[in-house]
Amino acid sequence: MKYIDEYRDARIARSLAAEIAHGTTRPWVLMEICGGQTHTIMRYGIDELLPRAIELVHGPGCPVCVTPLETIDKAILLALRPDVILVSYGDMLRVPGSQSDLFRAKAQGADVRIAYSPTEAVKIARANPDRKVVFLAIGFETTAPANAMAAWQAKHAGLTNFSMLVSHVLVPPAIRALMTSEKNRVQGFIAPGHVCTVMGCGEYETLVRDFQIPIVVGGFEPVDLLEAILMLVKQLEAGEARLENQYVRSVSYRGNLPARKIMGEVFEIADQKWRGIGAIPQSGLRLREEYAAYDANKVFDVGELSVDEPAECISAQVLQGLKKPTDCPVFGMRCTPENPLGAPMVSSEGACAAYYHYRRHAAS
C-alpha cells in the first residue's frame, strides 16, 4: 500500500537504526511531541533499536492529556443539566476530572453523546431545538479548523441552542515553555506532523533560532520516526541547529491555508492552562467576541474552577519529559486504563497508556 508499507519496512528501519548507531558519539536526549508518535515508538520497539546513548522522552502532545481538570469538571456540570446534550469525542468520556468523569455522568442519566466530528454536534442541535447542545472542543491545531467550522456553521445557520466548551492548545508555546524551564533536558525535538500539516512548519524557525536547538517535523510510521531521529542526530553531532521537514509528503512550509483562515476567523490566541503543567502564555485558542454567543463559558456562566491533580500522579513530569511512566510507583497497579489516576493512562495517545499496552509494565 503506497505510503504505508514502505514506511513500515523492517529492512529500511534496521538500516536507519544502524546509521543512527554509527553516527552517535555521545548521549543525546530527544523528545517526540505527539502522543501518536509515542505509541508508534512503543508499539514497534523503536527505542530498543537505538543505541543506549539516545534517550527518547515524551512530550505534552496528547490533547486529551493536557485538557485541564477544570474543563472536565465544567463539562460534567453542564452534562448533568437536564436541558443540555453534551457532545464529545469518545476518548474524553473516561478522562478523570477532580471527582468523576463523563462516563459516570452518563451513567447518572446525563445525555452525553459521542461524535466523530464537531459538525455532528451542529446536526444534533438542529434536530433538538428544545435542548441546549454543548460540544466539548479540545485539541491541538489539528482539530481547531473543524471546530472552527462547526461554530461558523452554527452562526450562519442562526442556531441559538449550540455552544462549545473550548480547550484548544498550541504546540510552539509549549516547546518554548519546556526550553525555558530550569529542568529541561531536551536537546532536539520531533515536531508533530499532523499539527504541521495544518499550520506548516515555518513557525518553528523562531524556536530553532531562539534556543539553537534542532527541530525535525516527523511523521507517524516507524521509518518516519527513525529518519527524523537520524536527522536530529546528524545535526547535533555536527553542532548545528536547523528546522528540517522529514514529513514532506504531508507538510508544507505554510500549511493548509484555508484551514488556517477559518481558524483565524473564529478563534483568537489566548493564555491557556495545561493539565499538570500550568498556565502557558499565548498557548491556546478562544472564541472571538463575534462568536461569544457560542462560548459555553459565557452562555452558561459556569464561572472559574480551580482544582489540583492527585498528589500521587506524576503525569505532569511525564508530559515534560522529566520522568517515564514506569517511574510512577502506582503505574500498572493503582493506575490502569480501567482505573486511571491521570489522563495519560486513559487517552489513546497518552504515554502511560502506550507503556501499559505495549509490554512496558516494568522499568528496564
Q: What is the pLDDT of residue 359?
A: 67
Which are the contacts of 359, defined by CB distance < 8 A and separation ≥ 6? none
Q: How many CB atoms lie within 10 A of CB 211?
A: 18
Q: What is the pLDDT of residue 316?
A: 86
Q: How confident is the model at residue 363 (pLDDT cuts 50, 70, 90)?
A: very low
Which are the contacts of 50, defined by CB distance < 8 A and separation ≥ 6? 17, 20, 21, 56, 229
pLDDT greater than 60 at residue 77? yes
Percent residues over pLDDT 70 in the chain: 96
- Are the CB atoms for 194 and 213 separated by under 8 Å? no
**End-to-end Cα spacing for the chain:** 35
Q: How confident is the model at residue 364 (pLDDT cuts 50, 70, 90)?
A: very low
Which is it for the CA torsion 158, 161, 162, 166, positive or negative?
Answer: positive
- Are the CB atoms for 340 and 304 separated by under 8 Å? no
CA distances (Å), origin 163, targets 103, 136, 139, 287, 305: 21, 9, 16, 11, 19
Question: b/e per residue, 65-85, with b = 16+ CB within 10 A?
Answer: bbbbbbbbbbbbbbbbeeebb
Could you tell me which of 237, 321, 326 has the C-alpha nearest to residue 31? 321
Could you tell me which of 308, 265, 228, 319 has the C-alpha nearest to residue 30? 228
| pLDDT tens digits along 311-347 | 788 988 998 999 999 999 999 888 898 888 888 998 8
Crossing angle (nearest 10°) for helices 118-127 and 144-157: 20
Burial class (CB in 10 A: 0-12, 13-18, 19+), 338: exposed
* Phi, psi values for residue 9, rounded to 5°: -70, 120
pLDDT greater than 90 at residue 180? yes
The rounded mean pLDDT for the chain is 93
Higher pLDDT, 310 or 77: 77
For residues 52-59, give the mean pLDDT: 95
Q: What is the pLDDT of residue 277?
A: 84
Q: What is the pLDDT of residue 192?
A: 96
Q: What is the pLDDT of residue 245?
A: 98
Domains of the chain: 65-170+255-299 (3.40.50.11740)
**What three-state secondary structure class fits 320?**
coil
**What three-state secondary structure class fits 236?**
helix
Q: Side-chain half-sphere of 337: how many Cα atoms within 13 Å?
A: 14
**Please, what is the Cα angle at 219 between 217 and 221, to 5 degrees?**
150
Q: Which set of grid coordinates corresponds to residue 311?
A: 498528589
Tell me the C-alpha distance between 120 and 126, whole Å: 10
**What three-state secondary structure class fits 248?**
coil
For residues 288-302, give the mean pLDDT: 94
| pLDDT tens digits along 96-128 | 888 899 999 999 999 999 999 999 999 999 999
Which are the contacts of 105, defined by CB distance < 8 A and separation ≥ 6? 76, 79, 80, 86, 112
Using the structure block, give the residue that is written with the C-alpha cell 468523569.
101
| pLDDT tens digits along 222-274 | 999 999 999 999 999 999 999 999 999 999 999 999 999 999 999 999 999 99
> What is the residue type of 341?
L
